[in-house]
Amino acid sequence: MSTPRPIELRSPTGPTLHGIVARPDGARQPRPGLLVCHDFPRHAAAGDHVVAGLDDLAERIASTLGWVVLVVLCRGCAPSEGDFSLGGWLDDLETAADRLRAEDDVAAVWFAGFGHGGSLALCAAATDGEVGGVITFGAAADFDDWARQPRRLLEFSRRAGLVTDPGHPRDFAAWTEELRAVRPGDAAAALAPRPVMVVHGTGDDVVPAADARALAARHGAADLRLIPGATHDLAVDPRAVALLMGWLDREWNRSQALPY
């Protein structure tokens, strides 16, 4: 089993990002790639807890299924540079998807997102026709709660270390408008007929399960899975991990069977 390796991602217009890549042992051959999108921290000074468990999950997917997995830390999440903005995180996912496709043995890319990272995964995939499909865990159907209290969100982001520049954002109105303009529900609708699975815990006290139903309904053909009693921390819930592993395996096999 290979150990996930650290990676730097550079984009022409954004900050330097950091992450890890996990890949299977053995000779290189055409493989699927998975971009894993982390959640927004729920506690101030959360540090690297936004990716707690994701490195182990990436290694398991690589060693068990043979996928190449990239976990990216979006801007503001140390050691990645920059300061948090919703539009900036969307740009970061686009940069990460391009970097994953640049791996010489990655034949196609899928997204998996946790919490608000799942919401953004839908949005990034909707504008990237090369993404094969998306699976979300505890994703929000919109960012309206944030948009109603943008100064509170900014203050929390400062306490959590996601915003360190005292002058950020330079344009507070534009920073706030992104919270209204980024619409995961619209993105879910735009993704059809590409495959989407929406996973949510019925015991999630961060994002209500109604958001999962809303996202699945907007897509129209999404596979909705509600896990009884599961909380928001689905990256470490064995039932959620089993759903992820099964979905990835089915999607790669299905894509291989499609006529060209």
The CATH number of whichever domain residue 20 belongs to comes to 3.40.50.1820
Residue 260 maps to a domain: no
φ/ψ of residue 174, rounded to 5:
-70, -40
Please state the length of the chain. Answer: 260
From the list 110, 127, 121, 113, the residue with the least C-alpha distance to 251 is 110
pLDDT of residue 2: 63
Q: What is the pTM of this model?
A: 0.95
> 220: domain range?
5-255
Mean local confidence (pLDDT), 109-134 = 97
**Number of domains into which the chain is organized:** 1
- Whole-angstrom CA distances from 98 to 9, 95, 106, 252 are 10, 5, 11, 19
From the list 68, 54, 72, the residue with the least C-alpha distance to 6 is 72
Residue 98 maps to a domain: yes
pLDDT of residue 181: 97
Residue 156 maps to a domain: yes
Q: What is the pLDDT of residues 139-155, one digit of tens each?
A: 999 999 999 999 999 99
Q: How far apart are CA 145 and CA 166, in angstroms?
A: 24
Q: What is the pLDDT of residues 39-71, one digit of tens each?
A: 998 876 544 466 778 999 999 999 999 999 999
User: Residue 152: what residue type?
Assistant: R
